Structure 1
Amino acid sequence: MGARKGARARVAELRELIRHHDRKYYVDAAPEIADGEYDALMSELAALEREHPELVTADSPTRRVAGAPSDGFSTVEHAVPMLSLENTYSPEELVAFDARVRKGLPGEPVEYVVEPKLDGVSISLRYVEGSLDVAVTRGDGERGDDVTANVRTIRSIPSALSGRRAPATVEVRGEVFMPRSGFEELNGRRIEAEEAPFVNPRNAAAGSLKLRDPSEAAKRPLTAIFYQVAGPAAARIATQWEAIELMGDWGFPVSPDVALARDVDAAVEACLAWDERRGGLDYDIDGTVVKVNSLEQQARLGSTAKSPRWGIAYKFPAVSVRTVVLGIEVQVGRTGKLTPVAVLEPVFVSGSTVSRATLHNQDEIERLDVRVGDTVEIEKGGEVIPKVARVVRSMRKGRPRRFRMPATCPACGEPVVRPEGEVDARCGNESCPGQAAGRIQHFASRGAMDIRGLGSALVATLVAEGLVSDYGDLYGLDAESLAALDRMGERSAENLLAELEESKDRPFARVLHGLGIRHVGARAAQVLAARFTGMKELAAASEEELAETEEIGPVIAASIRSFLESPRNKEALRKLETAGVNMRGGSTPGRATALAGLTVVLTGSLERMTREQAAEAVAEAGGRVSSSVSSKTDLVVVGADPGSKLKKALELGIRTIDESELERMLG
């Protein structure tokens, strides 16, 4: 017993020592011991854990380099969505952002925090009782991949929190990235091993997080910087500046160069200073992030469906390079739009190799006067998609022919039309295989049905082989037909069929978004799914009824009616319903609840359900969940440690209830 007690004490001492030296080396960049001494501590701990396996814990430093290979990554829903920031590209746009903020906070002083915008992989970590519980990628903002095993191998990320006492449960968000020095060293090793080098540090970081074997992930030189405390724990923090200080005290690496700006002019100066010094950094940044410092003001400003109103990304000016146009191809999209694409001599720009760039339409081609053989300047700044910025006419050789959009569709041969008043040429053939492939790709995309095994190449093959002509046909595929396709095989066929089966239970809003109705994006699909109990009720709604729905309006309403009245679309919807794809939304039919039609806000921690579960229950009961309190709010559900939303509710005289009352109203 005495030996075991001594081993327990020594193990605890070793773990504390190793975590201390991990922080000094990986976070503070101020190592206190030599590598050999550190290795000796780690070896002693590993030996004690082998001798006393009952002492092994998930957060032990030895777990950073161990772990069994994974067969795949499960997805986890974010309790608080990871929204995307809006982009801005000039000081003038930052000033306009400040004007919007001040309009939402009339007469109040506003401070800003300016942080570097790292070009890495966004990550959300949850700690329970001080230990890392789960690590999830950003994904689509609503759901991400569980990469906990690989994140545990990143030495700069604490497996256990230190410093001032952290809340029992805390969620932090940041960016995992690979420093340029580590990236160059990794690529050097890969080239020596005759393996393909990574294109850029971001791709290397993303690929490393998705390795199946954590012991392989441990070999990759990943690190991280954290910038946000999310969820209920944030209610105890007054400012973004304080949040960054707290995270640093808990053991998280944070940027040492965050600037506190007293006004927008100071924020602009900080952004411009970052632009000047970014070339000398050991990591890639593609801009800065400007945030309102007060978290209480952030809460009042709230968010749109996609982006917070209290923060914005300032993207640095685009970098341009020269290359040659080898050809111009025309692609057919899911709506029939024909898009000319420049095929380029491959060139490296802004972290990746570019070999294609959109030319948008015939008007843009004529404006640029771009021709095959021309030398052009390519830009890839704040935008993900590279574009042809200009033609270097002084380098044009001879008299190359002007490009004209084709009179017939390159996918089906039907005549191309250009509707009056529009810049885009379109194929009017609803049965066009090019459109069919585009519609199916959109249906399977991550923001819609999330059928990950259904890539663009496979979709094109399925359409070309006549196995599918619309997304309804996907659910009639069989293992034998799929396995007979090139590069498929039995296992791939079975995996795809399993994904298709799983996708049948996607929420109605995702199904609606996947249908590809013109003008109906993710947000409009959510509104429609909440308003109508299912596809039958939506199909029965008149154009006037649709137009009167909040956030829809006449243009979207007309597009919905046009889509639903198409015989081709009716047949595709029939196939989906027959296959068992979820076609129900809104509240449960026939279920009378006290929450129907009410706008509800949740604040604080609930005991018997998560905030996410409560929000889903309210929506199922016919209510609408909002992220901020306003005069339109009907009800505020108050849990433990409520934030500023309770204060705002009391000021506005809005009814407040506890969790027990919410459960009663839910029935």
Structure 2
Amino acid sequence: MLKLFDNNQAENRIKDLREKIERYNYFYYTKNESLVSDVEFDKILKELEKLEEENPHLKKENSPSKNVGAINLKESKFKKVIHKKPMLSLSNSYNIEDVIAFGERVNKNLENRYSNLEYILELKLDGASISIQYENGVLVKGVTRGDGIEGEDVTDNILAIESIPNYLKEKVDLEVRGEIVLPISQFKKLNESRLENGEDIFANPRNAASGTLRQLDANIVKERGLDAYFYFLVDAEKYDMKTHKESLEYLEKLGLKTTGIAEEITCMDVMKNRIDYWEKEKEKLDYETDGLVLKLNDISLWEEVGYTTKSPRWAIAYKFPAKQVTTLLKDITWQVGRTGKVTPVAELEEVELSGSKVKRASLHNIDEIIRKDIRIGDRVFIEKAAEIIPQVVSSVKDLRTGEEKEVIAPKDCPICNHKLEKEEGLVDLKCVNEDCPAIIQGTIEYFVSRDGMNISGFGSKIVEKMLALNYIKNISDIYKLHEHKEELITLDKMGEKSVEKLLLSIEKSKSRPYGKTLYALGIPFVGKFLGNLLSKKSENINNLEKMTKEELLSIDGVGEKVAESVYSFFRNEKSLNIVNKLKKIGINFSIENKKEEESERKVNENLFGKTFLFTGKLLKFKREEIKDLIESLGGVNSSSVNKKLNYLIVGEDAGSKLKKAQELGTVNILTEDEFIQMIK
């Protein structure tokens, strides 16, 4: 065995490792504090074990390598399909107390009539949810979860997954729901192949499964070897199923694959043991699982226990703790966004987190840095917020050497050196220089985005390149890029076809709806909804430019900040200059054929002319989707609870709006399900 150290070096290194491990153990078991992540702890422990193996004369019986721990211490390309029954989500819990409380709520809903309710414990797979319909035993449709109400028809791709039977063993009509996953073994092979071919690798099996399921070529789906596990039979009682476990066994009998894990639980006290067991055991599985699901077994009790607007009350998901790792915070850089907001970003020593390499993480703002007492040179814990965005959670103060540096907020813009400002009552620093290159780049990226002018092929790297070459200086210059066609073709990673597609997309964007162009202009506080609202109220941009603050405020849905922002935007010489250039270019800034457009709307008599507002967390709709739906059916969106409001749609954790509506007594209050019935 090759030794990396001579005897003296090995002895010193072993001593250092033992001291570190003993210290980490002390804090972990005695003070309930983690100085390093589990990953890092395991890494140094293995290094110690290896060194002791290579240097047996340096072994000690009381080495922490032998006594681990402290002993005695504690956009879509697919057809949309409405689900026959909504694909509800499960309420999540992150600790055993929540699970125990769930059991108590179920008993309460059942008036404590049962002494030993039985639950089924299953694995919560981390993949892409799917709903599959069979008619007379033949697979006829596969639909993604989508927003729970509407999904994408991916039937061709479902047929390409070998583990999903095209024909059931019985000629029955049914709908079954499950999870599409990419086995970990297949994931590794896929990434190895992509590396060899010079392609970007997938961050994790879940992303790979979801991305593969939405491929337009079913052959790709077949090649990648997706798998599927089913966990729910829709309307199981129709098939004389008495329990959830029976329904799972029935699915297996029909030839549908389940995980085979359906543990019967009658006492919530055993849940802690099962959680501990599966947190370890899940690592042996060939698919990703991010938690456990507990369901009331007796199907006949489900309706009595009931549902929230978001999820069934007879089931709960326990999610395993988010993975955290520790790493070195090497430096902090300050990024400038489209609005001039200056944000601190942690520059980290590269580390693997939840299946991806992380070198940067969010620090939010200077106040947050001060609150958490984070310094340059600290060892820090990082995690992915909602498993997506890496963020710095905390610093490990007990590992400080004294060489760490306090973070000082910049006084000048890191891009243009203009003096930064901080609005009263707000925490964010801002660059107010309209000519700041970072603001210009952000403005252009926002303008060309899908929700704005939808210019495909115009990503951030292309924007950066166009600015560097001085081909564009503002958003109006985008429409002059055809003058540089020959030069663009010669650029790296462009080519004739790419350039032609880009220029075609630019030309096509001129006819974007007026509301979209208003959004794309990036007027502060004017998002998709307000862009659409202002376009309808003004009919064309010339009318909007002339509106006074009072006229803007008279529009239901426009508040003080929005009115001030829109009014100021059209009185800013630079903004007006850009808008006038866009007018000359031929950008659509009006609603044409308004009467014809309104006559073609699918007006719903229950909604026509009525005002709507929603509050709380909506499960079945995204905020912009429900607003668009209301308007498309003849309704009007409101921004506040008042006597003119007809309906308030209430989601989970509704707050002051619900209370005010109840106090008024004139507002009809609807759940999402009631709203869905209303529009049907």
TM (normalized to structure 2)? 0.61
| 1:348 CA displacement | 0.8
DSSP 3-state at the match of 1:218? helix
Show the counterpart of 2:334. 330
CA contact (8 A) 1:259 1:270 kept: no
Change (3 A) 1:616 1:557: closer
DSSP 3-state at the match of 1:219? helix
Q: List per-residue Cα deviations over 1:397-444 (Å, max 9, x = no partner).
A: 552433323222223332211112211111112332212322333444
Change (3 A) 1:464 1:113: farther
* The 10-residue stretch of structure 1 (572-581 or 425-434) with the greater mean CA deviation from structure 2: 572-581
* The 10-residue stretch of structure 1 (84-93 or 384-393) with the greater mean CA deviation from structure 2: 84-93
| 1:385 CA displacement | 1.1
1:408 and 2:408 correspond:
no
DSSP 3-state at the match of 1:386? strand
1:177 and 2:181 correspond:
yes
Show the counterpart of 2:497. 491
CA contact (8 A) 1:76 1:143 kept: no
* The 10-residue stretch of structure 1 (74-83 or 402-411) with the greater mean CA deviation from structure 2: 74-83
Show the counterpart of 1:422. 426
Partner Cα separation in structure 2 for residue 208 and residue 182 of structure 1: 12
Partner Cα separation in structure 1 for residue 130 and residue 448 of structure 2: 24
Partner Cα separation in structure 1 for residue 382 and residue 535 of structure 2: 43
Would you say how many aligned residue pairs link Structure 1 and Structure 2?
545
Aligned partner of 1:76 among 79, 83, 95: 79
* The 10-residue stretch of structure 1 (396-405 or 579-588) with the greater mean CA deviation from structure 2: 579-588
| 1:283 CA displacement | 1.9
Show the counterpart of 2:164. 157
Show the counterpart of 1:389. 393
DSSP 3-state at the match of 2:389? coil
How does 1:251-270 map onto structure 2 within 5 Å? 252-257=256-261
Partner Cα separation in structure 1 for residue 199 and residue 544 of structure 2: 53
Show the counterpart of 2:466. 462
Show the counterpart of 2:54. none
Partner Cα separation in structure 1 for residue 481 and residue 306 of structure 2: 48
| 1:318 CA displacement | 2.4
| 1:383 CA displacement | 3.9
Change (3 A) 1:309 1:529: farther
Show the counterpart of 2:22. none
Show the counterpart of 1:357. 361
| 1:320 CA displacement | 1.9
Partner Cα separation in structure 2 for residue 556 and residue 98 of structure 1: 47
Aligned partner of 2:126 among 108, 119, 129: 119
Q: List per-residue Cα deviations over 1:39-68 (Å, max 9, x = no partner).
A: xxxxxxxxxxxxxxxxxxxxxxxxxxxxxx
| 1:477 CA displacement | 3.4
| 1:452 CA displacement | 4.6
Which amino acid is 1:419 matched to?
A: E
Partner Cα separation in structure 1 for residue 533 and residue 148 of structure 2: 20
Which amino acid is 1:453 matched to?
A: G
Which amino acid is 2:209 matched to?
A: A
Partner Cα separation in structure 2 for residue 456 and residue 337 of structure 1: 18
| 1:206 CA displacement | 4.4
| 1:465 CA displacement | 3.1
| 1:337 CA displacement | 0.9
CA contact (8 A) 2:344 2:362 kept: yes
Aligned partner of 1:597 among 592, 600, 609: 609
| 1:384 CA displacement | 1.4
| 1:552 CA displacement | 6.2
CA contact (8 A) 2:472 2:478 kept: yes
Partner Cα separation in structure 1 for residue 556 and residue 106 of structure 2: 24
Change (3 A) 1:251 1:540: farther
Aligned partner of 2:634 among 617, 622, 631: 622
Change (3 A) 1:399 1:277: same
CA contact (8 A) 2:122 2:261 kept: yes
Show the counterpart of 2:46. none
Change (3 A) 1:191 1:358: closer
Partner Cα separation in structure 1 for residue 200 and residue 381 of structure 2: 28
Change (3 A) 1:118 1:107: same
| 1:227 CA displacement | 5.7
Show the counterpart of 1:343. 347
Which amino acid is 2:409 matched to?
A: M
| 1:73 CA displacement | 8.4
Partner Cα separation in structure 2 for residue 254 and residue 362 of structure 1: 49
| 1:501 CA displacement | 5.1
Change (3 A) 1:450 1:176: farther
Output the aligned Cα RMSD: 5.8
CA contact (8 A) 1:407 1:416 kept: yes
Partner Cα separation in structure 2 for residue 266 and residue 582 of structure 1: 64
CA contact (8 A) 1:441 1:459 kept: yes
Partner Cα separation in structure 2 for residue 139 and residue 204 of structure 1: 17
CA contact (8 A) 2:135 2:172 kept: no
DSSP 3-state at the match of 2:223? coil
| 1:335 CA displacement | 1.6
How does 1:85-96 map onto structure 2 within 5 Å? 89-90=94-95
5+ long unaligned stretches in structure 2? 1-74, 613-626, 638-644, 650-668
| 1:120 CA displacement | 2.4
Partner Cα separation in structure 2 for residue 174 and residue 433 of structure 1: 48
How does 1:186-201 map onto structure 2 within 5 Å? 186=190, 198-201=202-205
How does 1:209-608 map onto structure 2 within 5 Å? 209=213, 214-226=218-230, 252-257=256-261, 275=279, 277-287=281-291, 301-302=308-309, 315-380=319-384, 382-397=386-401, 399-446=403-450, 451-471=455-475, 473-478=477-482, 479-480=485-486, 482-500=488-506, 514-519=520-525, 524-525=529-530, 528=533, 532=537, 534=539, 536=541, 554=560, 559=565, 566-570=572-576, 579-581=586-588, 584=591, 591=599, 595=605, 596-598=608-610
Change (3 A) 1:438 1:236: farther
